[in-house]
């Protein structure tokens, strides 16, 4: 069972996407109140890096009270942060090499 943490004051999500032979992969750096965590390599396109960050934050106990929908989705991070008065920032960049993902994408 994940230990519940106190509600964060700020969350910043920094995604990097890498395109390879028609597939898209991403990594994400997550900063919770200035402390960083990295998910180094995942499959997913577009803004899927936000879903990866949300899932990591939820499983790690950083999102007390976040809504999960019956169809499998969940409350977006920006909406959760707006609702609980937590600063939220996200950015993404596309990289040309797998090794330029956070953690090298191994």
Spacing of C-alpha 12 from chain mean position? 9
Per-residue pLDDT of the chain (106 residues; tens, 9 = 90+): 556 677 899 999 999 999 998 999 999 999 999 899 999 999 999 999 999 999 999 999 999 999 988 887 899 999 999 999 999 999 999 999 999 988 765 5
pLDDT of residue 5: 74
**Contact (Cβ atoms closer than 8 angstroms) between residue 54 and residue 74:** yes
> Domain spans of the chain?
10-105
User: Please, are residues 105 and 98 in contact by the beta-carbon 8 Å criterion?
Assistant: yes
What's residue 105's pLDDT? 52
Q: Kindly report the length of the chain.
A: 106
Pair of tokens at residue 105: 């994408």
Cα separation, 75 vs 51, in Å, equals 10
């Amino acid at each position: 069972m994940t230990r519940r943490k106190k509600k964060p004051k700020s969350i910043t999500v920094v995604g990097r996407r890498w395109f390879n032979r028609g597939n898209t992969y991403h990594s994400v750096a997550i900063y919770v109140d200035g402390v960083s965590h990295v998910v180094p390599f995942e499959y997913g396109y577009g803004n899927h890096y936000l879903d990866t960050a949300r899932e990591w934050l939820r499983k790690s106990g950083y999102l007390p009270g976040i809504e999960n929908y019956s169809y499998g989705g969940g409350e977006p991070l920006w909406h959760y942060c707006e609702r609980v008065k937590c600063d939220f920032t996200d950015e993404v960049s596309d990289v040309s090499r797998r090794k330029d993902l956070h953690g090298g994408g191994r």
